[in-house]
């Protein structure tokens, strides 16, 4: 009976997990509001070509692709960015810029399942569209940090780089876009020697290879030192130098703005997605060796979809990995509303009275539940105390004949007979 197991890579989220996921979702919406990002809801299924355009070779291979009954080649979305770029290139083409868009939902990648890597996972995604200015990049970084703090995840680090540095060098060296992308894919896999081989194969000069080698060895937390060392390697590459200046400007804004971001600079850091043109970053916490979020600037994607020259920058936080980070750091989501009143009919004659009282209490917004298992009073009471129910209403014939019930306050351990119409006041306060 294999069909009783979830499909490999798919998970059920049981109440405690679903509660944490919805908590993160709530915080994601709060951040969207705080920063002025409006929600859009795009379909899970899109044309394969749209999703595959700039997703990168590795991610492309992992897409769920199929032909629908109408013979269309479609895929389950592996990310939001392509769908958002489509929207901006079409239905929202005439919307005034900037456009700030937020999305949350499930995504699909045929990744090898392991801790924190699933085939169905969730992202909270934010895109800021229309500005190529550093303050837009700084906003997305600030938003990312606020989000992490807001869900209670601590000790986060942003691994950061500017893809324009590498592209600036490779462009000068005459490496084709395909060659550049192939090299980035190697870097994304941390295969530095593989990247060097590709550079050589694509005719990078001896000096160019030296520069790349030097560049790839630069990493660290010390911003001044890292940027100085990167700067030194870029003497002959003005476009790459310009990219470094851009990175510097963004970091200055973030720092001067008082954003509580801890950066780790890594000059060999590239991302698997191919649309990035500017800063790129990933979010890490010490408890996990996989990123809990990632983003960057992509100034050409909307243009590729026919939307003209519209720059953009964005980030996606991995909700499932945030859940793991919270768990590892001992952060729990608050229990929102718990059942306040359990109504126990002491005998069968009072089942309908108990039911009626539950309907009435819910009208007053008091979470209420009837004992539906027909357990005896003492078993029902011990169940109520195990579940931290605050009030038990015992419905017996004698009290009912006087229009009353027995209300037991479980926290204080006291009980009294009170009029049914007084229940909402007594429990609600
Ligand atoms: P990404 O780095 O591919 O970026 O994904 C962002 C986050 O989604 C990752 O850091 C991770 O937390 C989560 N994630 C990715 N794959 C999985 C998986 N198999 N299981 C669990 N979580 C996963 C993007 O998707 C870009 N669209 C982000 C972006 C928005 N760039 C600009 N705008």
Do 353 and 223 share a structural domain?
no
- Give the count of beta carbons closer than 10 Å to the beta carbon of residue 363: 10
Do 250 and 351 share a structural domain?
no
- State the closest ligand 1 atom to the C-alpha of 123, by its place in the atom list counted from 1: 8
| Phi, psi at 298, each rounded to 5° | -135, 100
Do 345 and 303 share a structural domain?
no
Do 170 and 276 share a structural domain?
yes
Tens-place pLDDT, residues 357-384:
999 999 999 999 999 999 999 999 999 9
Tokens of 136: 């837009």
* CA 317 to centroid of ligand 1, rounded, Å: 7
Query: Which run of H or E residues covers position 359?
Result: helix 351-363
Looking from the CA of 213 toward its CB, the CA atoms found within 13 Å total 11
Do 163 and 88 share a structural domain?
yes
Query: Taking the chain, what is the end-to-end CA distance rounded to the nearest angstrom?
Result: 51
What does the radius of gyration of the chain's CA atoms come to, in whole angstroms?
28
Do 202 and 179 share a structural domain?
yes
Residue 2: pLDDT band (50, 70, 90) is confident
- Is 310's pLDDT higher than 90? yes
Ligand 1 pocket, residue 318 CB under 6 Å: yes
Helix spans in 257-318 (H): 301-304
Ligand 1 pocket, residue 51 CB under 6 Å: no
Q: Is residue 154 part of a domain?
A: yes
38-42, 53-57, 170-174, 277-281: least confident range = 53-57
Return the residue whose CA atom lies nearest to atom 32 of ligand 1.
Answer: 314
Do 229 and 365 share a structural domain?
no
Return the residue whose CA atom lies nearest to atom 15 of ligand 1.
Answer: 318
- Is 159's pLDDT higher than 80? yes
Q: Is residue 11 part of a domain?
A: yes
Ligand 1 pocket, residue 294 CB under 6 Å: yes
Ligand 1 pocket, residue 188 CB under 6 Å: no
Ligand 1 pocket, residue 314 CB under 6 Å: yes
Do 208 and 100 share a structural domain?
yes
Domain limits for position 100: 2-328
Tokens of 242: 């310009």
Ligand 1 pocket, residue 109 CB under 6 Å: yes
Do 363 and 288 share a structural domain?
no
pTM: 0.95
Q: Is residue 336 part of a domain?
A: no
Do 353 and 315 share a structural domain?
no
* CA 313 to centroid of ligand 1, rounded, Å: 14
Q: What is the CATH number of the domain that holds 228?
A: 3.30.930.10
Return the residue whose CA atom lies nearest to atom 11 of ligand 1.
Answer: 318
Count structural domains, the chain.
2
pLDDT at 339: 72
Tens-place pLDDT, residues 57-74:
999 999 999 999 999 999
pLDDT at 336: 67
- State the closest ligand 1 atom to the C-alpha of 291, by its place in the atom list counted from 1: 10
Choose the residue to mutate in 316, 319, 322 for probing ligand 1, maximizing ligand atoms within 8 Å of C-beta: 316
End position of a domain, from candidates 301, 328, 355: 328
Q: What is the CATH number of the domain that holds 368?
A: 3.40.50.800
Residue 429: pLDDT band (50, 70, 90) is low
Full strand arrangement of the beta sheet holding 341-345: 368-370, 341-345, 391-395, 404-409, 414-419
């Amino acid at each position: 009976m294999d069909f009783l197991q979830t499909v490999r890579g798919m998970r059920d989220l049981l109440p405690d997990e679903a509660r944490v996921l919805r908590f993160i979702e709530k915080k994601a919406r709060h951040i969207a509001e705080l920063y002025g990002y409006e929600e859009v809801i795009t379909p899970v299924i899109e044309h394969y070509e749209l999703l595959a355009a700039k997703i990168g070779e590795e991610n492309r291979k992992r897409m769920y692709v199929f032909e629908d009954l109408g013979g269309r080649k479609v895929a389950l979305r592996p990310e939001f960015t392509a769908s958002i770029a489509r929207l901006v290139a079409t239905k929202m083409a005439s919307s005034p810029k900037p456009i700030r868009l937020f999305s949350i939902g499930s995504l699909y990648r045929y990744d090898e399942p392991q801790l924190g890597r699933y085939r169905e996972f969730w992202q909270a995604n934010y895109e800021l569209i229309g500005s190529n200015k550093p303050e837009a990049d700084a906003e997305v970084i600030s938003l990312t940090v606020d989000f992490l703090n807001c869900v209670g995840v601590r000790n986060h680090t942003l691994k950061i780089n500017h893809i324009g540095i590498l592209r600036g060098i490779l462009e000068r060296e005459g490496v084709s876009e395909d060659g550049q992308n192939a090299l980035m894919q190697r870097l994304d896999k941390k295969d530095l020697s593989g990247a060097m081989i590709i550079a050589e194969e694509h005719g990078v000069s001896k000096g160019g290879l030296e520069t790349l080698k030097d560049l790839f060895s630069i990493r660290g937390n010390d911003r001044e030192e890292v940027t100085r060392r990167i700067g030194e390697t870029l003497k002959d590459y003005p476009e790459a130098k310009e990219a470094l200046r851009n990175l510097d400007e963004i970091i200055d804004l973030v720092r001067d703005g008082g954003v509580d971001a801890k950066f780790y600079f890594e000059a060999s850091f590239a991302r698997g997605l191919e649309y990035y043109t500017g800063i790129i970053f990933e979010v890490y916490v010490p408890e996990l060796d996989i990123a809990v979020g990632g983003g960057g600037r992509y100034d050409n994607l909307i243009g590729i979809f026919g939307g003209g020259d519209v720059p953009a920058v964005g980030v996606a936080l991995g909700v499932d990995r945030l859940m793991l980070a919270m768990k590892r750091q001992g952060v729990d989501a608050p229990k929102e509303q718990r059942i306040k009143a359990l109504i126990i009919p002491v005998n069968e004659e009072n089942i309908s009275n108990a039911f009626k009282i539950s309907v009435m209490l819910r009208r007053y917004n008091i979470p209420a539940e009837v004992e539906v298992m027909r357990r005896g009073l003492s078993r029902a009471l011990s169940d109520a105390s195990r579940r931290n129910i605050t009030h038990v209403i015992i419905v017996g014939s004698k009290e009912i004949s006087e229009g009353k019930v027995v209300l037991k306050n479980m926290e204080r351990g006291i009980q009294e007979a009170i009029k049914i119409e007084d229940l909402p006041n007594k429990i609600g306060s």
